[in-house]
Chains A and B, each alone.
Chain A
Amino acid sequence: MPDFARAQLRRQRFNFALFLGPALVLLAVFFVAPVVIDLVLAFTDMGRTLAVGKLTLENFERMVTRDTRLLGALGITFIFVVTTLGVFNVTFALLLALVTTAVPQRLGAFFRAVWLLPRMSPSVVYALLWLWVVDPNERGLLNQIVVHVFDMPPIDLRNNHPLLVIILANGFIGASLGMLIFTSAIRSIPEHLFHAARVDGAGSLAIVRHVTLPALRWPISYMTIHQSLSLLVSFEYILLITAGGPFYDTTVFSLYAYRRAFESGEYAYGAALSLILVVIGVVAALALWRLMDMQRLLQPPRIEVH
């Protein structure tokens, strides 16, 4: 091999390591390694002392034969993900994007900033605010309104409608990401399309329906897939606001795995449950990918428009 070719190869390798290396390391440490560890743990008997005694299928056997709470947790997860996604992370986010791009720019930016505030505050602070909002006593924010404005007895949302509370809490914070993505997508629609539509006599709603929404097809598809996966595995607000309760009412599958692992010290069983979650995540992602025809998004454009 000539010297220059060797040098080029070396440089290519160096560049590969320099540019892709950090990302690969992150991917290996935070994505691949946990899945591998989880996979191994799921087939052990690791308990409170973290000692591994044997390799076993017991965890899976238990899941199928003895665990009576498993199906309930799956059901709750389904309701939680579909409702939060359908009502807030996509629909409400879209509404926010449409409204904040329709009003004068500064006002729009101000409202978007307001909606982003919870994202910027630490999760615990956000959860504490929610705990105050739904506090069953008269001092809770919601009850101050219920009692003083509507003259009704205080209500206890956290006990009587816990699923609603966690959907609202996750939805209000989750809508902001979709809002940003949709806003930038709306912004990238060529201005002249709106003018042309106006000239053709389209009203605001018709413009949204025939100009804006078709341009948002891919961002909406992407957000749906991304947020379903994210909602499937995240439980920090649920843990902080209801701790999965009352009883098991808000214990979504990921929190269920967490509770089994860390409340009871059954780490191997928690790992086995997480493994099921990984499988559900992969299946859901593939199904949505197919359903939304995401393949087309990645195809090279047939004509280049300048």
Chain B
Amino acid sequence: MMNGKIALSAMVAGVLFCTTFTSAAAEEVVIKVWARADRSGPLRAGNLVTAGDTLNKFLTAAGTDKRVKIELNETNAKGYDDDALDLLKAFAVDKGPDIFVLAHEWTGAFAEAGYALNLEDHINKNPELYGDIIGPLWQSVSYKGARYAVPQDSEVRMYFLNNDKLRKLGKTDKEIAALPAKVDAGEFTAYDLCDLAGQAVQKGVVKYGILHRPNAGPDFQMLTESFGLVPYDKEAAKLQASKTALKDFFTWVKYCVDKKALSATNTSMSWDAIEQASFAKEEALAFFHGVWRVTDQTKAWNLKGKDDYQRKITWINAPAGKKGGKPSNLSHPIAYAVSAKSKNKDLAAYIVALASQPIPNMRHSVTTNHTPINYGEQSMPEVVDKGWALVAATPMLKYAGFMPNHPKIGQYNAVIFKGIQGVETGRLTAQAAADFVVDELGNELGKDVVIKN
């Protein structure tokens, strides 16, 4: 009995000794990652974790005891704007991560605050790792001439029109197929779209004409752009708004509300309710969002491939405000940034580099229908096979712009959104909404915004 106890004690002591010894010998470098939990892109954070694993394989092969541990903090903010505000607070109290995922237009805010690392040097020194990234995408993460983040994906936004509902309205397949070209030619305007959507509601074909996101976000920029609102003055490096363009835009919103194409309840609906109404329940004629929604639509209607999908759904750019005008689109890349406060800046930057390589990025692209960041991905068999939507949407990028990288563009967007909400819910007339936006922009942004006639 006694011997048994001694043996047991010896064993416990042995195990303890081994554990202590190993942990003392192996050095673990913790890299904290901050990413918004997003159903439309779980691999944004996932690819960073995989990059950590890849790096650990290199380290094992090199015979060192150092290991990288990715500590992931997935936040539950409603959108990227809310998430950025939370992250700024976290940095302010010294609880910032080493790597963070952000919407590209926040790059300026984080660079200005001294939280985003200037990656210019790192990118220039590593052409083997970054050389294949699609050139124009870098523009979206540049602030005052330097790159402060690495684009993680890109996308195309559009109205998704439900063809079955269009057919119910009496449109022939030929007319439906001709619609995208008519939008691009400026023949089918934003007003025509609301006439069509309003007609669908009034005839009882659908409950909602057009459904859009319920909160502030980048989408609306392509709508305001169709009415000539240019949010940024590059030369003065200031945000700007034109009273006439705002009035034109809100006149259109009011027109759509009066036609019943836009619903008073849209901005008080939850995302879930909007998705339900747009996909499974088929209660909307048009849904306004981005190409990654193809994933949800394919699932909701059990569609098999491109032809099946195109029988069901038509994509159009945001039509021009008036006949003969230009349509518009928006690409809104999400990006990886490295903290300027990180103790392991170089390591964090290399993890971002690994996560941005064609194979991991392609996995994100094909599983969530976001357009890839590397030229090479476009010819990969998986992209050709599963990413038909990305290939099909690419021509729409011809009309795409980015959001300006001004630190206060998030607030600018939120004000425009409140104006839209005011008109949709019947609280504001078109003129009152334009005045509201001008007042609020002055109120919130002060000297950062220039109001023009």
> A156 contacts which of B265, B427, B440 (Cβ < 8 Å)?
B265
B-chain residues with CB within 8 Å of residue A68 when the two chains form the complex: 439-440, 443
Write the nearest CB–CB distance from B74 to chain A, whole angstroms.
Answer: 21
Per-residue contact bits, chain A 146-160, to B (CB 8 Å; 1 contact, 0 not): 000000000010110
Cβ of B91 under 8 Å from chain A: yes
Indicate if A264 sits at the interface (CB-CB under 8 A). Answer: yes
Q: Which residue of A lies closest to B418 (CB)?
A: A247
CA distance A246 to B91 in the complex (A): 33
Q: Using known A-B contacts A48-B109, A68-B443, determine if residue A246 contacts B88 with beta carbons closer than 8 Å.
A: no
Give A151-194 interface residues, CB cut-off 8 Å to B: 156, 158-159
Closest B residue to A156 by CB, please name it.
B265
A249 CB contacts on chain B under 8 angstroms: 427
Contacts of A219 in B (CB 8 A): none
Asked whether A263 is an interface residue with its Cβ less than 8 Å from the other chain, the reply is yes
> B88 to A265, Cβ gap below 8 A?
yes
User: Considering the chains assembled together, what is the distance between the CA atoms of A295 and B244 in angstroms?
Assistant: 60
Chain B residues positioned under 8 Å from A266 (CB to CB): 444
Bound CA–CA A248/B418 (angstroms): 9
A136→B265 CA distance, assembly (Å): 8
Q: Is the CB of A247 within 8 A of B425?
A: yes
Q: Does any Cβ of B come within 8 Å of A51's Cβ? A: yes
Q: With contacts defined as CB atoms under 8 Å apart, how many contacts are there between chain A and chain B in the complex?
A: 63
Contact flag A50-B425 (CB < 8 Å), given A68-B443, A246-B268: no
Q: Are A246 and B425 in contact (CB under 8 A)?
A: yes
Q: Which residues of A contact B88 (CB under 8 A)?
A: 48-50, 265
A158 neighbours in B (Cβ, 8 Å): 268
What is the distance, in angstroms, from A241's C-beta to the closest C-beta of chain B? 10
Name which residue of chain A comes closest to B435, CB basis.
A68
Determine if B411 is an interface residue (Cβ-Cβ < 8 Å): yes
Task: Take A49-B91, A68-B439, A68-B443 as given contacts and tell me if A245 and B265 are in contact as well, using a CB distance cutoff of 8 Å.
Answer: no
Give the residues in chain B near A217, CB-CB below 8 Å. Answer: none
Closest residue of chain B to A70, judged by CB? B443
**Which residue of chain A lies nearest to B444 when distances are taken between CB atoms in the complex?**
A264
Q: Pick from B89, B421, B443, B446 the residue with the most CB of A within 10 Å.
A: B443
A247 CB contact (under 8 Å) in B93, B428, B439, B444: B428
Q: Verify A264–B411 contact, CB threshold 8 A.
A: yes
With A and B bound together, what is the CA distance between A193 and B444 in angstroms? 63
B15 in contact (CB, < 8 A)? no
B267 within 8 Å of A by Cβ? yes
Q: Are A159 and B265 in contact (CB under 8 A)?
A: yes
**Chain B residues, Cβ within 8 Å of A156:** 264-265
Q: Is the CB of A50 within 8 A of B92?
A: yes
Proximity bits, B313-355, A CB within 8 Å = 1, else 0: 0000000000000000000000000000000000000000000
Does A290 sit within 8 A of B, measured CB to CB?
A: no
Min distance, Cβ A269 to any Cβ of chain B, angstroms: 9
User: Which of chain B's residues 183-237 have a Cβ closer than 8 Å to chain A?
Assistant: none
B419, closest chain A residue (CB): A247
Bound CA span A251–B425, Å: 15
How far apart are the CA atoms of A245 and B264 in the complex, in Å? 12
Which one of A62, A136, A242, A264 has the highest number of Cβ atoms from chain B below 10 Å of its Cβ?
A264
Residue of A nearest to B423 (CB): A247
Chain A residues lying within 8 Å of B443, measured Cβ to Cβ, are: 62, 66-69
How many residues of chain B are within 8 Å of chain A by beta carbon? 27
Inside 8 A of A265's CB, which chain B residues have their CB? 85, 88, 411
Q: Mark interface residues in B262-302 (1 if CB within 8 Å of A CB, else 0).
A: 00110110000000000000000000000000000000000
Chain B residue nearest to A242 in the complex (CB): B268
- B442 and A245 contact, CB distance less than 8 A: no
Q: Is the CB of B421 within 8 A of A246?
A: yes
- On whether A263 and B414 interact (CB within 8 A), knowing A49-B91, A62-B443, the answer reads yes
Q: How far apart are the CA atoms of A69 and B92 in the complex, in Å? A: 29
A residues in contact with B89, CB < 8 Å:
48, 50
CA gap between A245 and B421 in the complex, in Å: 9
Instruction: Write out, one digit per residue, whether chain A residues 48-70 have a CB within 8 A of any chain B CB (1) or not (0).
Output: 11110000000000100011110
Instruction: Tell me whether B422 is interfacial, beta carbon within 8 Å.
Output: yes
Please name the residue on chain B nearest to A158 by beta carbon.
B268
Residues of A within 8 A of B109 (CB): 48
Complex contact B85–A48 (CB within 8 A):
yes
Within the complex, the shortest CB–CB distance from A276 to chain B, in Å, comes to 16
**B91: A residues at CB distance < 8 A:** 49
Q: Are B414 and A264 in contact (CB under 8 A)?
A: yes
Binary CB contact string for chain A from 61 to 84 against chain B (1 if under 8 A, 0 otherwise): 010001111000000000000000
| A48 vs B445: C-alpha distance when bound (angstroms) | 13
B425 touches A245 (CB 8 A): yes
With a CB–CB cut-off of 8 A, which chain A residues contact B115?
A: 49
Give the docked Cα–Cα distance between A69 and B435 (Å): 12
Q: Please, how many angstroms separate the alpha-carbon atoms of A242 and B425 in the complex?
A: 13
| Given A50-B93, A68-B439, A247-B418: A159 in contact with B113 (beta carbons within 8 A) | no
Mark out the residues of chain B between 115 and 155 whose CB falls within 8 Å of any chain A CB in the assembled complex: 115
**Complex Cα distance A48/B409, Å?**
13
Instruction: Report the Cα distance A193→B85, complex, angstroms.
Output: 63
| Contact partners of A67 in chain B: CB under 8 A | 443
Are A49 and B85 interface neighbours, CB within 8 A?
no
CB proximity of A299 to chain B, nearest CB, Å: 49
Task: Identify the 6 closest CB pairs spanning chains A and B, nearest first.
Answer: A50-B92, A246-B425, A247-B427, A247-B422, A49-B113, A66-B443
Interface positions of A (Cβ within 8 A of B): 48-51, 62, 66-69, 136, 156, 158-159, 242, 245-249, 262-266
If A156-B265, A245-B425 are given as contacts, then 15 extra A-B residue pairs at C-beta distance below 8 Å, sorted by A number, are: A49-B113, A49-B115, A50-B88, A50-B92, A51-B113, A69-B440, A245-B421, A246-B421, A246-B425, A247-B425, A247-B428, A262-B85, A263-B414, A265-B88, A266-B444
20 contacts between A and B (CB under 8 A): A48-B89, A50-B88, A50-B92, A50-B93, A51-B92, A66-B443, A69-B443, A156-B264, A159-B264, A159-B265, A245-B425, A246-B267, A247-B421, A247-B422, A249-B427, A262-B85, A263-B414, A264-B414, A265-B85, A265-B88
